[in-house]
Amino acid sequence: MAGNTAEITAAQAYRRLVRSAQAALAEPGSPALAAAVLAGPLADADRALAAAGLAGNEPRFFAAVRVATKLPPTPTDPTPT
């Protein structure tokens, strides 16, 4: 499951998107600037999710994010395969 390279790549792209969003929203300025800054990381995350087959599969996606970030599983996580 989350050992899949495409899934790890998608999880890493999501983490980059989250960090970019945090940075963009922490800076005072226009929302248009934040949108411009986030366009690239959002597109990268979308492509990576689609390539890994994770688009629309939130439980599997967040399980991959937990593996990529070394977070412990939650009781509702699907059993890794």
Domain boundaries, the chain: 5-69
CA–CA–CA angle 7, 52, 13 (5° rounding): 60
SS3 breakdown of the chain: % helix, strand, coil, rounded to 5? 70, 0, 30
Is the pTM higher than 0.85? no
Closest C-alpha among 63, 13, 11, 4 to residue 38 = 13
> Residue holding tokens 């994770």?
54
List, for residues 28-68, the tens digit of each pLDDT value.
Answer: 777 777 888 899 999 999 999 899 888 888 888 888 888 87
